[in-house]
Structure 1
Amino acid sequence: MAELLGYSRVPDQLVHTRVLPERTARFSVWPESLPAQFRDAVGSTGVEQPFAHQVAAAQLALAGEHVVLATGTASGKSLAYHMPVATTLADGISTALYLAPTKALSADQLASWQYLADHGVNWLRPAPYDGDTDPQSRAWAREHANVLVTNPDMLHVGILPNHSAWSKFFRHLKYVIVDEAHTYRGVFGSHVAVVLTRLRRICAHLGNTELIFFGASATSSAPAESFSALIGAPARSVEEDTSGHGEVVVGFWESEFSGATGEHNAPLRRSLMATGADMLTDLAVNSIRSVAFIRSRRGAEAMAQIVKRQLAEVDPSLVGRAAAYRAGLLPEERREVEDQLNNGKLLAVSTTPALELGIDIAGLDGVVVAGWPGTRASFFQQLGRAGRAGQRSIALYVAGDDPMDTYLVHHPQAVFDLAVEDNVIDPQNPHILSAHLCAAAAELPLQPSDLGVFGDADHVRDIVEELTSTGYLRRRPAGWYWTHEQHAAGMISLRDAGGGPMQIIDGETGAILGSIGAEQAHSQTHPGAVYVHQGRTWVVEDLDEDHSTVVVLRAEPEYYTQARDVTDVEILGEDARIYSEPDKLAWVHGPVKVTNQVVSYQRKEVSSGKVIDEQPLELAARELYTQGVWFTAPSQQFITAGLTTDRLPGALHAAEHAMIGMMPLVASNDRWDIGGVSLVLHPDTEAPTVFVYDGHPGGVGFATRGFSQASTWITATMHAIENCACTDGCPSCVQSPKCGNRNSPLDKAGAVVVLNYVAEALTRAVSVPPETQP
């Protein structure tokens, strides 16, 4: 591994290696009911026998049970659901609905369904139905398709509201395939859960109460429970992976300090983009066809730029074999990258998690994971992209400047030896549920009997009565009706907490370059922000929220931008509280009001991350009613633990930053899904208090999970800070890229004191009644 990366000896940055051993496949026999034409079609691809797990899952579905197949990447989950669909649809009447979280995966799966139809399984009539489908093809799909390939967004906004045009399809719908089910978490998963409830309700209205849900998922600790929560019905799971896989050599890499300094002269590690680009370049030069995963669109584009520049210096013939892949590209751009990666024309691709999912790309020999992807499930999905054909492969995890990365790169057992986390969703979130109840009422008037379909009947009734009192619904003898002219479903974005997508427009040509969710617009496309698209850069000229547009102008700045915000938190109540009497520590969970405003942005050097300057912004404040978790204790307790009064603000602030960075260890969230605030004297508690809150209206379970996993969360956060090699704090431990106070004051050593005090107090804490008045 070191030699491939250009080192004559094992470098200090390579802090851990692990060999994932080769796994021998275990096969089974085809189900007796499977049509011979299907076996022949699959056999023409080289598959002679199914894996045992494929048959086990198929048999459960054929027996009429909801099932989730939770096995690794390249374990053949597609074949597992192809079997029951092909068997049942041979009756010439039944239909199947396939749902994918990304357009790329939909396109890949459409091709696999079409292959079966073209090679003897001629009763299958697959058709796409998404935002890229032309009107003529949509009409054909409605009239003729019996396998509809789409995504939850289109089901939600384009199909369910027009269910009368799909009545024949829904009346005979037998299977709903939910691919990559582990990706349905947080806000997106909560929305999709209610969309699936709306689907079941419409089918029941047409007399179809026998839908079978088949989930395909990455490995997780409780796949049956997670999938059951998603579909609203009990499900069985198949978890033993009987597929074969080549040996994978995994390296954990912690980049060296670059010599550059950031805020308050904190040392900066070499950037993820630069380090990941070096590795991708080295792998390409050695003819190792690889992908590098990085979390952001901007990071994927920037990494591709660096790789191309480096390849031009080493071997100019390779420049055209590197590219970026991310969400937001135009359809034809996505398909071109997919095709060229599949046929071998591309040798190095930097990508967002869009390529993490089950797109069938053969022959990849290497994977670079630049920054922790958020969950163990995603990590192993990304690793699984290499070695899909059974060959030996290489994988590199590059830790970023982040507390979670710092902890994991030094605690590989937390990656390899713990169960993969289960998903966190909350379809009963009133902000999410109320919007979908409006959409459901627009589809079919809500009946009293529907209330229990959408969850706890009393909870749902309260929401319906609130919607009625505010004029969104009207009660009539036949039920509750949607009263507005607006398209109810069109007012809901499944993937954003705020409004729908905003179009990003080239101000010179008028061309649409891409889109961004309204909730991210203030932080990512504010005036002056750098926007990157397919290796080219623009600077935002105007953010027009009234018309949902962002105007950008072509530019080539030598910097990237990062927004800053300020936040206040007000406690609205308490749902749960534990308290340690000897330590006077309260650990609390409950509703909070968060007021947030993006106030400025920093320009930073691409190569080093060094701050060039900071520019003010004038954007409106936003209010968020959500769920939070917090701890509070009298100042004297922290003084007794070893702090002084002047160090307490920095210690609390540093602890808050690190807790935000480490929450993904206990809740399957993105760091940017949550926020935090710390105060030495909070007006509601009248004492030092540290808050962490869900960044979505109503909360989606992250704060709840943090509350229940208090000891694990706090202890791991403390260890992450202790493991960081810096002296006074840096982005790898206690500095935050989105801190509205410019990461000041921060006290790294003081944070360890605070967290140690909290961890010890939690061992003595007991549950007590919540306080009704904060």
Structure 2
Amino acid sequence: GQIVHTEQIPARAAKCSKPAAALSAPVMKALSARGVTGLFTHQAQAIDAALAGKHVVVCTSTASGKSLCYNLPILEALVKDPRATALYMFPTKALAQDQLRALRELCAAAFGDKAPSIDIYDGDTPQEDRGEVRERAHLLITNPDMLHCSILPVHGQFSRFLSNLRYIVVDEGHAYRGVFGCHAALVLRRLQRICQREYRRDPRFIVASATIANPQEHIQQLLGVPSVHVVSEDGSPHGHKSFIMWNPPLHGAAGVPSDERRGSPIVELSLLLAECVQHGLRTIAFCNTRKLCELVTAYTRETLKATAPELASSISVYRAGYSPQERREIESALFNGKLWAVAATNALELGVDVGSLDATLHLGFPGSVASLWQQAGRAGRREQPSVSIYIGFDGPLDQYFMHQPENLFKRPIETAQIDPENEQLLQQHLACAAAETPLLLQDDQAYFGPRVPEIASFLQSVGLVNRHPHASTPDVLFYVGSKDNPARQINLRAIDPERYSIVNEAAGGEVLEEIEESKAFFEVYDGAVYLYQARPQALTLCIGRTYLCKKLDLSSRVAVVRPADLKYYTKTRDFCDVHVIGGRTAYAKHSVHPAILTLIATPCQVTTRWLGFYRVWQGSGEVFDTVDLFLPDVQFNTQAAYIRVPQSARMALQAQGLPFRDGLHAASHALANVVPLFLLCNASDLGNECDNPYDTRFRPERLLVYDKHPGGIGLAKQARPLFPQLLRRALELIRGCDCCSMAGCPACIQSLGCTEYNAVLHKRAAIAILELTLAAEAEYADRLRLQVLTHSLQQLCCSCDEYASLRQQCLIVSAKLLRILARWCALQELRSGPSLEGGHLGELTIPELDAT
């Protein structure tokens, strides 16, 4: 009974075509060497557009041959001009290494001994080799971070390369979203500016992307170009796919009825993975965290040791923490068939070539429909049949999809959003641009938008740019900051610079791996069970180990572990707290602005605090011990915007028998779900306060969003004046949703990024909270208008004898005041609420006012 639904995705035959212009002999030779006898329709269309001088985006499915869409035009350029160069930009180093191998094979087949030089230029490139790479490279593979801080700031060292630049390849274009995407967009604008102004080159962009809802809009925003040619009709074949929804069986547990608790999805997936291996199916099991990868691998190996011992070493883990060389060895082993399966995080979601796969397993929803299809597309290349199995957790989100699978398969692919005009990011990148070549206030608006003079004025006020005393025009600004390379002060991905080392005391202090500081306390602490599989160089053995953390040295950032034979794992008890620092109202006390008037915009501090950890039996998932922890908080400062929920709302919900905390949590989710409709951002860029079902602390009565980027990039500030529309749209979202469960669904009050797995939600309570909050704000706005009009009336009445011409104005204001006061009185009578707070206004009556 675990299979609740099977979606049959029919096979698709290949559709082939030829480019309009015949390809050159060297290019045809390279295709023949790869066994390519014909091009798919999307490949031919992309090649035609690129050779015609257009910016191109290819938006097709995984394993559809997108690399030929950009490699073949580049090879054609090299045939015509051996001095031509091309820049390849990949979001990760793993993708760069993967493409290096394929590109060298392609160029060797096309040009033989005269093949152009192809090099990687990233953080792993030795310093002593970088000068030679700059001098010889025709095809240079890099990433946005390296382009930002080590190529553009010293572009003169790349003058030969940039002077001959024909194409810029941006792979995995869908990955450039949110804050990282905003940074990348501005880096690419700086690159175009340097090429066009300093080297008189106007290179063409070729972008490869997975399927997204808005490819043209997104890529134009990313590149900063007026138009792109979109190729989205996929001509590649794929085999028949069975997509199975697998819900773990119900069973009893201590104190829990048998119809309310499901079996462990980790165990279910591990058993399925063992079955796949035993049936000779090459498989990737996608898990959302490192620990889940380790647990799945450990459980699967235990099963295989009992049923097929010779296969126990044929499964490995693929995740962050391994060195680039170790990851290459795992990829190679999977590609060559030495491994039958890997348990991987989303590190294998992007297009690293691991050969042909038969099956994908998915432990829980990965966060977006686009990611789910991207992962599932790793299996079933060409016309090979495949299977994908989605195993659900017991949380509301997974169970919603398990009970209504049609809403998963009909759910549209998400859009990708970036905002390259974000004020704070513009300030940072304009300073970098000025350090690369002086700012031209008029010309640079073509790259960075109409706010260049305004941003430049700010940079001048803080001493980062200034005019040269002998400049012929005031529109030229030079970088005068104290840092030689301001780009090094800007991190595109907000990656932790500090890391914790995990050392094995039984192996003489051998370093097992390094973990980012923000993740370290989730993995290692005194008493933690640390799961770690064998290093890839020992793939022939591939034996996982369990370690017990003996000591976590905070000063040296070292966790000391030793091997231990344990049948349990550990899981932290933690919570995230948002503390607002100060706070100010968005509008002046006597404002009559129609927007919400009690809205607060303020800096805030986001704190993750660890209370302790659980010891959990493997297999059953039963918690058998709870231990306290005393670890330092992890904090970062950012920006928040919030609105107070009236205290009367709590009493009103209590009177109706509705849970206030559940409704507040649900309303926060609905608010976060509608933000991307009003701001150019992704849902993952803004956070909200999520409620833990076991947390009994007081929770402030507010609806809050905060910027997840340390320091903030202005998203909360932008959201502040939009709160009236946001709250009304959130209310419409919940009211308009057809789901019947009080726990809601992903279309209304469930959030794909909820840190508490969408526990403690209530749909009706959320509707009531939003209604009462909007009503309270409307009443407060009326109070302020009443104060303003009364003040105006008093001034006019006092002066009407001396200024007879104002009497007509006095009558108009009186009429307005009477209408507003009557409306307010009616509201008060309906709500039976308190009168105006303090002052003589609360004692005014209509006859008294009329007499006045």
Aligned mates of 2:560, 2:463 — CA distance in 1: 39
Q: Secondary structure at the match of 2:39?
A: coil
Aligned mates of 1:763, 1:353 — CA distance in 2: 40
Gapped runs of 5+ residues in structure 2?
470-475, 534-543, 588-593, 693-698, 785-852
Aligned mates of 1:286, 1:210 — CA distance in 2: 53
Mapped pair 1:23 → 2:43: no
Equivalent of residue 352 in structure 1, options 335, 345, 349 = 345
Code of the aligned partner of 2:89: L
Code of the aligned partner of 1:489: A
Mapped pair 1:752 → 2:763: yes
Superposition deviation, residue 215 in structure 1: 0.9
Task: Give the alignment of 1:513-532 within 5 angstroms.
Answer: 513-517=512-516, 520=519, 532=531
Aligned mates of 1:387, 1:439 — CA distance in 2: 45
1:93 match? 83
How many pairs were matched up?
Answer: 729
Equivalent of residue 575 in structure 2, options 564, 570, 575 = 564
Equivalent of residue 182 in structure 2, options 165, 190, 200 = 190
Equivalent of residue 120 in structure 1, options 107, 110, 114 = 110
Per-residue CA deviation, residues 374-404 of structure 1 (Å, 9 max, x unaligned), is: 2222111111111013211100112234443
Task: Give the alignment of 1:7-18 within 5 angstroms.
Answer: 11=1, 13-18=2-7
Moved more, 409-418 or 73-82: 409-418
1:500 match? 497
Equivalent of residue 138 in structure 1, options 125, 130, 139 = 130
Code of the aligned partner of 2:481: T
Moved more, 220-229 or 762-771: 762-771
Equivalent of residue 698 in structure 1, options 685, 690, 712 = 712
Identity of aligned residues (%): 32
Mapped pair 1:228 → 2:220: yes
1:247 match? 240
Code of the aligned partner of 2:13: T
Superposition deviation, residue 372 in structure 1: 1.5
1:655 match? 666
Mapped pair 1:129 → 2:139: no
Moved more, 423-432 or 37-46: 423-432
Superposition deviation, residue 488 in structure 1: 2.8
Per-residue CA deviation, residues 451-509 of structure 1 (Å, 9 max, x unaligned), is: 52553443x5454444444455565456232533475333332222x653535352755
Q: Secondary structure at the match of 1:619?
A: coil
Task: Give the alignment of 1:365-404 within 5 angstroms.
Answer: 365-404=358-397
Q: Secondary structure at the match of 1:407?
A: helix
1:111 match? 101
Code of the aligned partner of 1:553: V
Superposition deviation, residue 44 in structure 1: 2.2
Quickly say closer, same or farther: Cα 1:257–1:539, change in 2 above 3 A. farther
Aligned mates of 2:63, 2:73 — CA distance in 1: 20
Equivalent of residue 34 in structure 2, options 34, 39, 45 = 45
* Two-structure CA RMSD over aligned residues (Å): 4.3
Aligned mates of 2:432, 2:449 — CA distance in 1: 18
Q: Secondary structure at the match of 1:644?
A: helix
Per-residue CA deviation, residues 223-277 of structure 1 (Å, 9 max, x unaligned), is: 0111111111132211111111101000122334564579999966444433322
Quickly say closer, same or farther: Cα 1:724–1:499, change in 2 above 3 A. closer
Aligned mates of 1:760, 1:314 — CA distance in 2: 59
Equivalent of residue 289 in structure 1, options 282, 287, 291 = 282
Quickly say closer, same or farther: Cα 1:166–1:87, change in 2 above 3 A. same
Quickly say closer, same or farther: Cα 1:485–1:701, change in 2 above 3 A. closer
Aligned mates of 2:430, 2:359 — CA distance in 1: 46
Code of the aligned partner of 2:303: Q
Quickly say closer, same or farther: Cα 1:519–1:699, change in 2 above 3 A. farther
Mapped pair 1:82 → 2:71: yes
Superposition deviation, residue 71 in structure 1: 0.6
Code of the aligned partner of 1:131: G
Aligned mates of 1:676, 1:587 — CA distance in 2: 22
Q: Is the 8 A contact 2:597 2:780 kept in 1?
A: no
1:158 match? 150
- Max radius of gyration: which structure? 2
Aligned mates of 1:178, 1:588 — CA distance in 2: 45
Mapped pair 1:615 → 2:641: no
Superposition deviation, residue 97 in structure 1: 1.0
Aligned mates of 2:164, 2:708 — CA distance in 1: 40
Code of the aligned partner of 1:55: A
Equivalent of residue 322 in structure 1, options 302, 315, 319 = 315
Code of the aligned partner of 1:286: H
Task: Give the alignment of 1:636-647 within 5 angstroms.
Answer: 636=648, 643-644=654-655
Code of the aligned partner of 2:3: L
Quickly say closer, same or farther: Cα 1:362–1:263, change in 2 above 3 A. same
Q: Is the 8 A contact 1:294 1:371 kept in 2?
A: yes
1:172 match? 164
Equivalent of residue 594 in structure 1, options 598, 601, 604 = 604
Code of the aligned partner of 1:651: D
Quickly say closer, same or farther: Cα 1:625–1:735, change in 2 above 3 A. closer
Code of the aligned partner of 1:480: F
Aligned mates of 1:414, 1:765 — CA distance in 2: 36
Mapped pair 1:553 → 2:550: no
Aligned mates of 1:344, 1:634 — CA distance in 2: 62
Mapped pair 1:710 → 2:724: no
Quickly say closer, same or farther: Cα 1:47–1:85, change in 2 above 3 A. same
Aligned mates of 1:636, 1:768 — CA distance in 2: 13
Q: Secondary structure at the match of 2:38?
A: coil
Q: Is the 8 A contact 1:75 1:241 kept in 2?
A: yes
Aligned mates of 1:194, 1:527 — CA distance in 2: 44
Q: Secondary structure at the match of 2:339?
A: coil
Mapped pair 1:675 → 2:681: no
Per-residue CA deviation, residues 291-348 of structure 1 (Å, 9 max, x unaligned), is: 0111222222222222222211111111111001112311121011100110111111
Aligned mates of 2:32, 2:487 — CA distance in 1: 43
The structure whose residues are more often strand, as a share, is 1
Code of the aligned partner of 2:70: Y
Q: Secondary structure at the match of 1:18?
A: strand
Task: Give the alignment of 1:710-749 within 5 angstroms.
Answer: 710=730, 714=734, 719=739, 722=742, 738=755, 748=761
Q: Is the 8 A contact 1:403 1:720 kept in 2?
A: no
TM superposition score normalised by structure 1: 0.82
Moved more, 167-176 or 440-449: 440-449
Aligned mates of 1:316, 1:587 — CA distance in 2: 68
Aligned mates of 1:400, 1:325 — CA distance in 2: 22
Q: Is the 8 A contact 2:165 2:201 kept in 1?
A: no
Q: Secondary structure at the match of 2:482?
A: coil
Quickly say closer, same or farther: Cα 1:523–1:588, change in 2 above 3 A. farther
Mapped pair 1:279 → 2:279: no
Q: Secondary structure at the match of 1:75?
A: coil
Per-residue CA deviation, residues 147-173 of structure 1 (Å, 9 max, x unaligned), is: 112222222233223322211111221
Aligned mates of 2:183, 2:600 — CA distance in 1: 22
TM superposition score normalised by structure 2: 0.75
Q: Is the 8 A contact 2:192 2:202 kept in 1?
A: no
Quickly say closer, same or farther: Cα 1:418–1:738, change in 2 above 3 A. closer
